[in-house]
Amino acid sequence: MTIQELGSIGEFVAALATVATLAYLATQIRHARLAASDTSRQHRADSVREMMLMSLNNEPFRQAWSNADPQEAVRMEALADRLGVSIDEARLVWNGACAWTYIHWAQYRSMKTASDQHELENLIREFYSIPPMAPVWETEPLIRSLLDPGFVEWVDEILAGVRTS
């Protein structure tokens, strides 16, 4: 074999190595982008949860928020009646339900394995089918409108299975 033939073989091997390296880098970039997206989504969910927890723990803030939203009183009176609690307790339950739905939405959007999905389906099936979460999920349109439709449909499908069993 001549030097020229060896050089041609070397160039071919180098070209294959370059293609393999580029494929590996593309895969790594894709995984890094997905991880960054999951992190960003989790930070958004954490921020919403922090705001809801602030509402849960800060009665003056909760009252000021309620006073600023003319429709809130109507929604909270209806929720209080459904739950058999005071209006302020209904506000607490509503904020807690919002915090839970955002945690579960972030989990839903970040599911990677069948086991992730099974875990979240189980939680939704059990937790969203009992009070106080069930009446809030079923009758509070604002919670549903704050979440992406795919998640809302997914939760509703799981709960439909609970109702039929």
Identify the pLDDT of residue 165. 67
Identify the pLDDT of residue 84. 95
- Phi (first) and psi of residue 145, to 5 degrees: -70, -20
| Cα dihedral across residues 31, 35, 36, 37: positive or negative | positive
Question: Rounded to two decimals, what is the model's pTM?
Answer: 0.69
Domain locations in the chain as residue ranges: 41-164
Report the alpha-carbon distance of residue 146 to residue 160 in Å, rounded.
21
Residue type, 92: L
* 150 Cβ contact list (under 8 Å, min separation 6): none
Compute mean pLDDT per 10 residues along the chain, 165 residues long, and list them.
81 86 86 78 75 80 85 90 93 87 85 87 93 91 87 94 77
Report the alpha-carbon distance of residue 75 to residue 87 in Å, rounded.
10
DSSP annotation of 113 reads S
The burial of 72, by beta-carbon neighbours within 10 Å (0-12 exposed, 13-18 middle, 19 or more buried), is given as: middle
Write the DSSP string, 18-84.
Answer: HHHHHHHHHHHHHHHHHHHHHHHHHHHHHHHHHHHHHHHH-HHHHHHHHHH-HHHHHHHHHHHHHHT
Contacts 24+ apart (CB under 8 A), 117-123: 121/158
Report the alpha-carbon distance of residue 126 to residue 128 in Å, rounded.
6
Identify the pLDDT of residue 36. 79
* 131 Cβ contact list (under 8 Å, min separation 6): 83
| Tokens found for residue 118 | 């099974």
